[in-house]
Structures are given as C-alpha cells and as structure tokens.
C-alpha cells in the first residue's frame, strides 16, 4: 500500500504581523530617521528608561548636542522645569495609548549656555513591545522677538505721546495763566480804588471779588494739570453735583468762548444731578468735548456760534453737550471714538481724547455717545447711572461739632463757612494752644481740621494732644508749605485721616465730607446696637 504523501501547508502570515516584523527590524536609528529625519520641527525620541535614542537634524541644531553628549547631560536637566518635563515623559510612557502632554513656553539650555524659549509637547509611540516618547519642540525665539519689538514700540509711542502732551500744554500754559492773572490784577486794582475813594459799596466789592476767586481756582487747576502729567493720577470716586463739574469746565474755557464770540446756553431740567464719579476725570471729558466744539464752531459765522449744555434725569443722569457747528462727516462717524483718529492738523491733536473719554465713562458704569446731523448740529450724550440720592447728600444729617484751627484769619473763616454749609457746628481756634483749650472744653468734638505751621503750639503738637485724649478722633492736616511731601510723611505717622494741601480743591473736600459722614454713621449704628 502506497503511503499517502501529504504536502505540508505553509503557515500564512497576516499583513499586520508582517508590518510588526518589519518594524522590529527598524527600531534602530534608521527607523526613526525614516519618519522624523526630514521634518523641519525638532524631534527627540526618548525610551522607557528616559534615555535619548534619537534626535533629528533640527533638534541637534536647536540644542547643540549630538545623541551621545545629550545623554551625558540628561534630557530633562536641559530644561528649566526639569521635574515638570520628567513628569510629562513618565505620564506618557506609563499611560501609553494616545497619551499626550504639553508645556508652554519653557526655557531650554543649549550647549553653548544660551537659553531659548520653546513649546514642549510629547506623545506616545509603541513599536513592537517597546514604548517611546516622541518629543516635539517649537522654537519661540522669533515670536518673542516680535512681541518684544511690539511692546517696545508701544512704550516708545506712549512716551512720545506724553512728551507731545507736555509740549502742547507748556506752549499754552503762559497764555492760560496770563488770562486769570490779568483778571486778578484788574479786579484787585478796582477794589483798591474803591477803598482809596472811600466807596465801601458791599455789593460792588462782592462783585469784584467773585472773578478773583474764579481766576485763582482756574490757575490752581492749570498747575494741577501740569502736576498730573508729571506723575500718576489719583482716583477719587465721590458723590458730586454734576453741574458743579460742568461749571468748572466752562470757567476754564470762559476766555476762549468770549474770544470766539460763542454763546453758552445752560438748561438744567432736574435738580437731581448727583453722581458718583472721579470729578477730575469727568472734567477732562467735558474739556475735551468742549474743545472739539470750539474747533468745529471756528468754521461758523461769528454771529451764530452756540453751545448748549443740558442736564436731565430719566433712568440715568444725562448730560447733553450740543453745538451748531458743521456735521461730523458720516464716513468718519464710526471712527471718532477709536484711538489716534483725529481730523485736526498734525501737532494739534493726538486723536486720543474721545477714545479715552469713552473708556472713562465705561469704567464709571456709564456711556458716551453722539449724534450729528447737517441740519441739527452735533450733540454728545454723557450718561451716568442714577445713584438714587439727591443733592442734599453732602449735608450732614445731624449738626455735629467740628474744630478748625488755623493762624490765617481768612482761611479760618473760609473753612468755617464751608463746613457750616455742610450742616456742622463749627468751633474755631487761631493757633494750637487755643485749639487745645477748645478741644478740652468740648468733649463732643470728634473731628478736627488743623494747619501744621502755626506759632506757639503747632499742628503736630496739637494732633498729639488730641490723640492722647481721643485716639479715635478724625484729624485732617492742612498745609500750604512748599516742602509738603516730607512734612506730609511726618504728619501721617501720627495717625491722621488725611492731608490736604492749600488751595483745597472742592471736589477733594467733598470726598473728605463723605468720609466724615461715613464715620459718623458707623459710630451711630454701633451706638444703637450697644444701647
């Protein structure tokens, strides 16, 4: 019987296993070179022992190391955040699968000692039974240089803008100061003549004094503006009568209105014009809008130049500033609130006024908008959120005693008059010694305004005396001394509540009154709880 000869069947190999077999032969440098060698991005391959097994040419160019030297240094140690890098590698190698980790903007030390910023990303790759971490680096050097160049440009631009502002202000400051100086000199001479001629008409003297007060206030504001450009602005958010801020802005530009024959129309439809704001910032907005109106009205015939300012109350406190100048061209109406856009000639405007004004109003929780029409003129609308308080907010609810101490008779009378208008019972003293006596005789006094430079007993000695008797008393120091910064620091160490410089801005004075009332309300509330 013939033995059946059977043909031995060849075992088939699946395509997948064939690929894996091929991969096993290519787990060397040649395999990684095939897939990563031609890539522009720096690629580094790390094995499960955290050793570098491959760098492509881009990686070698970036780090400055070849494979042998890189392993000597240690891969993770090449990075500023070595522990974070090592942790990312371990997570990827242990998690396997599609695990991915990244670290943004990390510093890498090159062989030459220089450090470069890179984005670091790592993903898992399995070849046969071996796990690898494929690291990709993205060099951020060019991007960072571009950003720094941009920052330097903006910084330089801001510096140039500030220099331009100072230059423009300096050029006009002589003119702006000469006008109020002329007013002060003229009306002071008028008063002198009245006295020389023995013409003591009280009403006429008062009429002559009012412009002097306004002119001196105007000069103080000009100097204040110069000081603000030299340093950082302080922000005071206080409740103020918005119409008072309007009147201040109008006074500042009064001379220019008269020079250009501009009629100012005032329309206050509601007495409820109290808003919470930084008065100095709001005044800057008003001055900017009014200056723009002056510029626009220069194109009108001199007999028909008008600016109307109205205040009304609806759901908001609304201030409208209208002028009958030419229409803002429709093609630029969408641009006038954007930074650096201006229709003025080179050197006349930065184009920052309205954009800054818009930003200030948004920061106040309000809004700034406008409408312009060929037939109706141009109107800017400034909206403030309604605070729910009326103009009596600044008046004290209870007639509380306050002590004012100053060796200057007129300043003493001025401060006393101001505080009395706020509803306080005012005690006065002409020096520190008398101040001690008045304070000792009236234990209910919880607030004191005192000058620092006085004969006999000065303000510092008085403050120490008051603090010994009543450590909780509110004390506001006042000084017109030229070296006031050093003095201010010295006095503040005594634990005062505020330092006021002469002349005292009425906006800042409103803030002080608000602080005093807040303190007294707090004391009253606690007293009722303890009763």
Q: pLDDT (tens digit, 9 = 90+) per residue, 340-373?
A: 445 554 334 434 467 777 877 887 788 999 898 8
240 contacts 507 by C-beta, under 8 angstroms: yes
> Residue 269 pLDDT more than 70?
no
Residue whose C-alpha is closest to residue 115's, from 95, 83, 139: 139
> Angle CA(282)–CA(288)–CA(291) in degrees, nearest 5?
140
Q: Which domains does the chain have, with CATH numbers?
A: 15-139 (3.30.450.20), 249-391 (3.30.565.10), 395-530 (3.40.50.2300)
Q: Can you give the pLDDT at residue 299?
A: 79
Residue whose C-alpha is closest to residue 393's, from 508, 253, 238, 500: 238
Q: Can you give the pLDDT at residue 450?
A: 94
Tell me 332's DSSP state: G
403's enclosing H/E stretch is strand 401-405
Helix ranges, 442-483 (H): 459-469
pLDDT more than 90, % of the chain:
15
Rounded to an integer, the average pLDDT of 446-472 is: 90
Of the candidate ranges 225-229, 259-263, 393-397, 434-438, the one whose mean pLDDT is the lowest: 393-397
Q: What is the pLDDT of residues 85-143, one digit of tens each?
A: 988 898 888 876 667 888 888 899 888 888 899 999 999 888 877 888 999 998 888 88
> Residue 9 pLDDT more than 60?
no
How far is it, in rounded angstroms, from Cα 247 to Cα 257?
A: 13
Give the number of other Cβ atoms within 10 Å of residue 273's Cβ.
23
How far is it, in rounded angstroms, from Cα 509 to Cα 424?
A: 14
Q: Can you give the pLDDT at residue 429?
A: 94
Question: 418 - beta bridge partners?
Answer: none
Phi and psi angles of residue 268, each rounded to the nearest 5 degrees, phi first: -105, 105
Structure tokens of 329?
């061209």
pLDDT more than 70, % of the chain:
75
Q: Can you give the pLDDT at residue 157?
A: 53
- Is residue 6 classed as helix, strand or coil in its secondary structure? coil
Rounded to an integer, the average pLDDT of 453-465 is: 89
Q: Can you give the pLDDT at residue 135?
A: 93
> Residue 15 pLDDT more than 50?
no
Structure tokens of 266?
């005032």
249 contacts 286 by C-beta, under 8 angstroms: yes
Task: Tell me which of 259 and 308 has the higher pLDDT.
Answer: 308
Q: Can you give the pLDDT at residue 479?
A: 83
Position 82 confidence tier, pLDDT thresholds 50, 70, 90: confident
The count of residues in the chain is 531
How far is it, in rounded angstroms, from Cα 508 to Cα 44?
A: 64
Task: Work out whether strand 401-405 and strand 447-451 pair parallel, antiparallel, or are unpaired.
Answer: parallel
Q: Can you give the pLDDT at residue 476?
A: 93
> Residue 20 pLDDT more than 50?
no
Rounded to an integer, the average pLDDT of 23-48 is: 78
How far is it, in rounded angstroms, from Cα 494 to Cα 477?
A: 11
Q: Can you give the pLDDT at residue 342?
A: 57
Listed in order, strand segments (DSSP E) in 68-145 are: 100-109, 115-127, 130-139
CA-based R_g, the chain, Å: 38
Q: Can you give the pLDDT at residue 350?
A: 39
Rounded to an integer, the average pLDDT of 148-168 is: 58
Q: Is there a cis peptide before residue 310, judged by omega within 30 degrees of 0? A: no
């Amino acid at each position: 019987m013939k033995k059946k000869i059977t043909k031995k069947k060849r075992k088939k190999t699946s395509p997948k296993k064939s690929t894996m077999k091929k991969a096993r032969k290519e787990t060397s440098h040649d395999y990684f070179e095939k897939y990563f060698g031609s890539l522009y991005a720096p690629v580094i391959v790390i094995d499960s022992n955290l050793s570098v097994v491959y760098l492509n040419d881009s990686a070698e160019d970036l780090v400055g190391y070849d494979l042998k030297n890189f392993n000597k240094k240690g891969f993770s140690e090449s990075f500023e955040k070595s522990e974070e890098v090592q942790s990312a590698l371990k997570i990827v190698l242990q998690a396997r699968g599609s695990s991915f980790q990244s670290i943004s903007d990390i510093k890498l030390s090159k062989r030459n000692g220089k450090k470069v910023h890179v984005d670091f990303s790592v993903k898992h790759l399995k070849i046969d039974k071996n796990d690898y971490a494929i690291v990709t680096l993205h060099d951020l050097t060019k991007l960072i240089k571009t950003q720094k160049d941009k920052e330097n440009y903006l910084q330089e631009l801001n510096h140039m803008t500030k220099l331009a502002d100072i230059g423009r202000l300096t050029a006009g400051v002589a003119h702006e100061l000469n006008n109020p100086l002329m007013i002060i000199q003229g009306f002071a001479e008028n008063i002198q003549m009245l006295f020389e001629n023995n013409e003591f008409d009280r009403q006429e003297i008062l009429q002559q004094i009012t412009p002097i007060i306004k002119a001196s206030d105007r000069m103080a504001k000009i100097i204040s503006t110069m000081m603000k450009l030299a340093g950082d602005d302080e922000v005071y958010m206080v409740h103020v009568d918005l119409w008072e801020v309007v009147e201040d802005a109008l006074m500042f530009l009064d001379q220019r209105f008269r020079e250009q024959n501009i009629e100012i129309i005032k329309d206050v439809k509601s007495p409820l014009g109290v808003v919470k704001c930084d008065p100095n910032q709001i005044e800057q907005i008003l001055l900017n809008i009014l200056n723009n109106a002056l510029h626009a009205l220069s194109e009108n015939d001199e007999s028909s130049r008008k600016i109307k300012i109205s205040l009304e109350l609806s759901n908001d406190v609304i201030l409208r500033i209208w002028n009958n100048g030419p229409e803002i061209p429709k093609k630029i109406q969408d641009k006038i609130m954007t930074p650096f856009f201006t229709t003025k000639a080179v050197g006349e405007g930065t184009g920052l006024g309205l954009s800054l004004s818009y930003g200030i109003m948004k920061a106040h929780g309000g809004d700034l908008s406008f409408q312009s029409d060929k037939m109706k003129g141009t109107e800017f609308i400034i909206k403030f959120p309604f605070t729910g308080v009326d103009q009596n907010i600044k008046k004290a609810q209870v007639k509380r005693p306050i002590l004012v101490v100053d060796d200057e008779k007129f300043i003493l009378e001025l401060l006393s008059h101001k505080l009395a208008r706020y509803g306080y019972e005012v005690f006065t003293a002409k020096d520190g010694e008398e101040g001690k006596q008045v304070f000792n005789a009236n234990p209910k006094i919880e607030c004191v305004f005192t000058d620092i430079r006085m004969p006999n007993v000065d303000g510092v000695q008085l403050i120490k005396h008051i603090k010994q008797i009543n450590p909780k008393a509110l004390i506001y120091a006042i000084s017109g001394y030229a070296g006031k910064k050093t003095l201010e620091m010295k006095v503040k160490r005594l634990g005062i509540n505020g330092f006021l410089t002469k002349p005292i801005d009425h906006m800042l004075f409103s803030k002080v009154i608000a602080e005093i009332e807040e303190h007294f309300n707090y004391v009253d509330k606690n007293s009722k709880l303890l009763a």
